Structure 1
């Protein structure tokens, strides 16, 4: 029952039930007002309102980006001496376990994750067309100084005159070989990795022995100058070994046929144009200590 001086209701009724319009507690109202005042002050003092190109800077001029930049600069100053030593070092003489080596491994891991893992994989396991860095099958050489050179100048790019360079002829696309000759040499290439001569190579693919015999001559006159007479390849020409189970693009008949017909032309950037010498050396140290190379 309504009584005199009772609190007014909200004016709404649900099945005859009304709700009192009690005032909010004073402490709650003052807290609410203070948060509004604090919010206005914050947007004035700190970056807050997005504009067309940037946010408002705020009277204090503070930003998380600036804070991170200061922290990075602080660490760069702390590491300046060892980084300068790494940049000037002959990587072949950096001893395992030294401060320079340990710094290079950690710095190189960061460089690899940021710049190399997109192609070579997060664990350097490689992808189709991008070699694994964990084995000993290295084109252009796998010693640490050769790795530094490859990282520094890259492979088959058009930005560095000292880049590693080789180019396989497009035997089919440029009509350097007849279609039947390509079929023959493909079978011969498949046979090169069959040490037992049982008709199945180490990658599990069979081949036509008769075509392979005919392809031996095609290989000798067109491929042996780079891949050598026994097919083991000349790594310093960028010509891979064709007698093992390691294939960059695939060792099945269809893929080998595509390689012979159209050729391959993988490109690696010249990281020396994008990274400091210390970062290049660090990347090489990191990759080399993964266990691959020589």
Structure 2
């Protein structure tokens, strides 16, 4: 029989393995660790019987507890729909004035509208609704087609320059490119429009050009923008006197707009969103434009 070697300090048996003069002790697994492993294995085996666990061809073991995530999710969806049904019905049917006067319902509009806006509108108008280059700012209470909830709802429903049979149609002609105005007339009318929001531009050096541009504006642009240049929501013609610009209000940008024209596009949401969702978005966007900072 081989003689068992024991460590002189601890008195424990060694395994016989030695590395660089260091001998390995034959130390048993701690009892606590062993018990933990036993309990976890027993729990795993029990869990196999209690909940769905093992695939069996086209099915699986159902478990003794009857847990079914499909049914759980379906039940929660039904609960959510039932909770939404009451206020969604109100949003779909009640007059806008009534909804706007109900602060509790408007809180729901802001919560749900924020999500709808983020999912459908933020790609162009930004998460905060402040727009960006070539996309309108929806928070400044300055509207191309009118900012009442009814008008916003219609814009959402039919879109702008879309294939919808009732679409809003808006286009700024390319006065320079299509030779309706010559180069000098384009520069003159751009100078006049620029002066409307930059009074300091009306200097003695520029006044003749501005006056000439005013004449071009009256004969060419006033039909859409009005003689006072304050726009026309019926045509989607912007107000040129308030310093709110979609494409930019610098002199160069205005010249580019007059020369090359502009034609925006907004998709129709008529078949993408429900009537209640469209009305929720209309209220949310209206609220963005009128909410006090």
* Bin of the TM-score, shorter chain as denominator length: 0.7 to 0.9
Q: What is the aligned counterpart of 2:184 among 177, 180, 187?
A: 180
Aligned to 2:161: 156
CA distance in 2, matches of 1:111, 1:172: 40
- How far is the alpha carbon of 1:237 from its aligned partner? 0.7
Given the superposition, is the C-alpha separation of residues 173 and 197 from structure 1 closer, same or farther in structure 2, using an over 3 Å criterion?
A: closer
Q: TM-score, normalised by structure 2?
A: 0.78
Alignment of 1:87-236 (within 5 A): 87-94=92-99, 96-97=101-102, 100-158=105-163, 160-195=164-199, 198-199=202-203, 208-236=206-234
CA contact (8 A) 2:117 2:281 kept: yes
CA distance in 1, matches of 2:251, 2:240: 13
- How far is the alpha carbon of 1:270 from its aligned partner? 1.6
Given the superposition, is the C-alpha separation of residues 183 and 10 from structure 1 closer, same or farther in structure 2, using an over 3 Å criterion?
A: farther
Given the superposition, is the C-alpha separation of residues 25 and 266 from structure 1 closer, same or farther in structure 2, using an over 3 Å criterion?
A: same
Q: String of CA shifts for 1:144-180, please: whole Å, max 9, x gaps.
A: 211221222222222x221221111123344443333
Moved more, 123-132 or 230-239: 123-132
CA distance in 2, matches of 1:177, 1:106: 49
Do residues 3 (structure 1) and 6 (structure 2) align?
yes
Larger Rg: 2
Given the superposition, is the C-alpha separation of residues 152 and 47 from structure 1 closer, same or farther in structure 2, using an over 3 Å criterion?
A: farther
CA contact (8 A) 2:133 2:246 kept: yes
CA distance in 1, matches of 2:48, 2:178: 66
Aligned to 2:277: 279
Q: TM-score, normalised by structure 1?
A: 0.77
Given the superposition, is the C-alpha separation of residues 267 and 58 from structure 1 closer, same or farther in structure 2, using an over 3 Å criterion?
A: farther
Alignment of 1:49-88 (within 5 A): 59=62, 62-63=68-69, 67-88=72-93
